[in-house]
Structure 1
Amino acid sequence: MSFFFKPSKPKTPQELAKAIRDSLNALDTKTIVEVNALKKALEEVEKNFAIMRVMLSGDGEVEPNPDQITQLTLEICKEDGLTLLMDKLPLLKWEARKDLVHCWTILMRQQVGSTFCCVQYIENHLEFLDFLVVGYDNKDIALTCGSMLRECIRVPTLAKYVLESPSFEIFFKYVELPNFDVASDAFSTFKDLLTKHETVVAEFLTTHYDEFFERYETLLTSRNYVTRRQSLKLLSEFLLELPNPHVMKRYIAEVRHLKVMMTLLKDSSKNIQISAFHVFKVFVANPNKPQEIKLILAKNHEKLLELLHNLSAGKGSDDDQFEEEKELIIKEIERISRLLNLET
């Protein structure tokens, strides 16, 4: 005997948004303490998130409907739906969090008329970003929060908020967390904050120069090899490529920063030596070097020249260009040393 079941009618965007809100609200205090009730509520959330994913990106056979995407985006932003997602995020299972990250990318990039309504919502609820940052403290949701945060900081106004908020300071701790996956993810977010929006970063560093570089020095001198290497490489990316050269000029005029680079030139890692050289050479090549910088170079010229003569380009590097730059730096250090010796 055959039984035929009529398939359930697909939910409209309005119905789906309501179902998502209802299933998330079901994760209340009473549900959480009752094992079976919690299991059932989480299954309902997971089912609704899977439907949302299909509505936003299709199922591989049927393309998503643009009108449905637009409507669902508007509905999710209504009645603090995004805030509800954040409130319940620590309770969600892995599959639901994976679908949420996928949908989050689409929602954040969805333009309705002339407005990116999810972006606008977050601009009006900036505490949302603070929640995502401190999410790194919870290893269960750290990577989910990191993915969602990186999507947010693609927007200059949201990146600016994170940079200037007290939450940004915590990244200097997160990038050295003992959990490698979480620390690596935090560094990816940290890097995006300092490289995605050059003008925003230049303004931030100009205003917060002293406190930022004081903290950044702790990363460059970290006992952790990965931290030293990543931080040094990142320094050259955001410092030497800023549209406003004021920050770089100030940095390469300070003896304390030169001393850090000289120490890194002696690092046991060749990769760190090479990266340190690319920042160190800017101090030496600066045509307006302060007298204090010249004195340090002259005083240490023998050790510096020995280090540089023994330094060779890493694999995959342009050997000819590296050797040419190195020769110019060597000659400049020798010139400074001769001039200062003549003066004394």
Structure 2
Amino acid sequence: MSFSFFKPSRPKTPQELAKAIRDSLMALDTKTVAEVKALEKAMEEVEKNIMTMRALVSGDGEVEPNADQISQMAIEICNEDVISLFIHKLPILGWDARKNLVHCWSILLKQKVDDICCCVQYMENHLELLDFLVVCYDNKEIALHCGSLLRECIKRPSLAKYILGSPSFELFFKFVELPNFDVSSDAFSTFKDLLTKHESSVAEFLSAHYNEFFEHYETLLTSKNYVTRRQSLKLLSEFLLEPPNTHIMKHYITEVRHLKIMMTLLKDSSKNIQILAFHIFKVFVANPNKPREIKVILSKNHEKLLALLHDLSAGKGGEDEQFEEEKEMIIKEIERLSRLPDLVS
């Protein structure tokens, strides 16, 4: 008598698994899914295959993952166009399947085969998938999973550069202010990564799109939402004051409209925002090549500015001494400007 049915089934090879994933995802499109039971069965198959892929790329707790198999899995999901299916089917997949997919993506995206990251190369050849992921922030059901996939992609300079230059990038100025706090926070995390992960690409982007970018950014700095104002101010300091963006910063601090925004934020009801605004405001004042328009604004408003600065303190922390020194220097410069006769109208 044969007891072969008690033997565990042979594990699928990466090639077999990639095809199985592709077939199960494509089965969600067939006419048979009009029947609830058929849809449930198809979805179960998808979830089982994605779980199998997760075990293959990260182990199952008992068996450690095999590096060669992981690399082969990366090759096969590209060869079978599974990556495109993964992304386009996200809206109809279950929560667990999406979670496991995000986990697998973080591993597969960085796999190198002959010094080539084949999944990155696939995305470079299917850049529309990045736009799709960005637009998915408008779908709160999958927004956080799409955000995780996007941030993995943004770690790669070529993919981050594409998103920066894509029309879909402008959508982030909307998404960071969505009413759902979890989604807006996640969108801001992705937005921040885009502007801080790859300095040379960001410098190139800001040079090419200076006016339109800062017009949009102004809406964040003047937002009625406290979190948006605080986060955007902090982020502005992070990317504007970095050495690769020195030429952008020099341009920024010559414009009166930007100075006026910082002066307004110095009056914000939040102490945190006042401090963040000061660190950008001080660059306008300390600039040895201030345009006359900037000098005039500072001179005309010197009384209000000096009053604000005298009341401003860094609070608790180790930076108090440095902060006070910088503040004193800024106060002296504003006082000096206020005494210049050619700036008094």
Q: Same fold by TM (over 0.5)? A: yes
Q: Does 1:157 align with 2:170?
A: no
Displacement of 1:11 after TM fit?
1.1
Q: Does 1:131 align with 2:129?
A: no
Contact 2:252 2:258 in 1 (8 A): yes
Contact 2:134 2:146 in 1 (8 A): yes
* CA displacement, residues 278-303 of structure 1 (integer Å, 9 cap, x when unaligned): 00000000010000000000000000
Q: What residue is the counterpart of 1:255 in the other structure? A: 256
- Rounded to whole Å, the distance in 1 between the matches of 2:151 and 2:274 is 30
- In 2 relative to 1, CA 31–304 (structure 1 residues): closer, same or farther, beyond 3 Å? farther
What is the aligned residue count?
343
Displacement of 1:33 after TM fit?
2.4
Contact 2:173 2:220 in 1 (8 A): yes
Provide the secondary structure at the position in 2 that maps to 1:245. helix
Q: What residue is the counterpart of 1:41 in the other structure? A: 42
Q: What residue is the counterpart of 2:176 in the other structure? A: 175
- Rounded to whole Å, the distance in 2 between the matches of 1:28 and 1:269 is 52
- Rounded to whole Å, the distance in 1 between the matches of 2:290 and 2:331 is 16
Contact 2:296 2:344 in 1 (8 A): no
- In 2 relative to 1, CA 4–27 (structure 1 residues): closer, same or farther, beyond 3 Å? closer
Alignment root-mean-square deviation, CA = 1.6
Displacement of 1:4 after TM fit?
7.7
- Rounded to whole Å, the distance in 2 between the matches of 1:83 and 1:197 is 25
Provide the secondary structure at the position in 1 that maps to 2:54. helix
- Rounded to whole Å, the distance in 2 between the matches of 1:47 and 1:270 is 52
Contact 1:136 1:186 in 2 (8 A): yes
- Rounded to whole Å, the distance in 2 between the matches of 1:314 and 1:59 is 50
- In 2 relative to 1, CA 90–332 (structure 1 residues): closer, same or farther, beyond 3 Å? same
Displacement of 1:314 after TM fit?
3.5
Displacement of 1:317 after TM fit?
4.9
Q: Does 1:269 align with 2:270?
A: yes
Displacement of 1:29 after TM fit?
4.5
- Rounded to whole Å, the distance in 1 between the matches of 2:161 and 2:98 is 26
Provide the secondary structure at the position in 2 that maps to 1:266. coil
Displacement of 1:86 after TM fit?
1.6
Which range moved further: 182-191 or 241-250?
241-250
Q: What residue is the counterpart of 1:195 in the other structure? A: 196
Displacement of 1:89 after TM fit?
1.2
- Rounded to whole Å, the distance in 1 between the matches of 2:313 and 2:337 is 23
Q: Does 1:22 align with 2:54?
A: no
Displacement of 1:182 after TM fit?
0.5
Q: What residue is the counterpart of 1:304 in the other structure? A: 305
Q: Does 1:328 align with 2:323?
A: no
Normalising by the residue count of structure 2, what TM-score does the alignment of the two structures yield?
0.96
Contact 1:298 1:340 in 2 (8 A): no
* CA displacement, residues 225-274 of structure 1 (integer Å, 9 cap, x when unaligned): 11000000000000001414110000000000000000000000000000
Q: Does 1:287 align with 2:288?
A: yes
Q: What residue is the counterpart of 2:213 in the other structure? A: 212
- In 2 relative to 1, CA 7–305 (structure 1 residues): closer, same or farther, beyond 3 Å? same
Note the residue ranges of structure 2 that are not aligned, 5 or more in a row: none
* CA displacement, residues 79-123 of structure 1 (integer Å, 9 cap, x when unaligned): 321111122111100000000000001111101111000000111
- In 2 relative to 1, CA 204–108 (structure 1 residues): closer, same or farther, beyond 3 Å? same
* CA displacement, residues 21-61 of structure 1 (integer Å, 9 cap, x when unaligned): 11111111424422111111111111111111111011233
Note the residue ranges of structure 1 that are not aligned, 5 or more in a row: none
Contact 2:239 2:245 in 1 (8 A): no
- Rounded to whole Å, the distance in 2 between the matches of 1:317 and 1:122 is 45
Runs of 4+ in 1 over 4 A off after TM superposition: 341-344
Amino acid in the other structure paired with 1:63? E
- Rounded to whole Å, the distance in 1 between the matches of 2:97 and 2:17 is 15
Displacement of 1:14 after TM fit?
1.0
- Rounded to whole Å, the distance in 1 between the matches of 2:343 and 2:292 is 15
* CA displacement, residues 167-189 of structure 1 (integer Å, 9 cap, x when unaligned): 00110000000011100000000
- Rounded to whole Å, the distance in 2 between the matches of 1:202 and 1:117 is 27
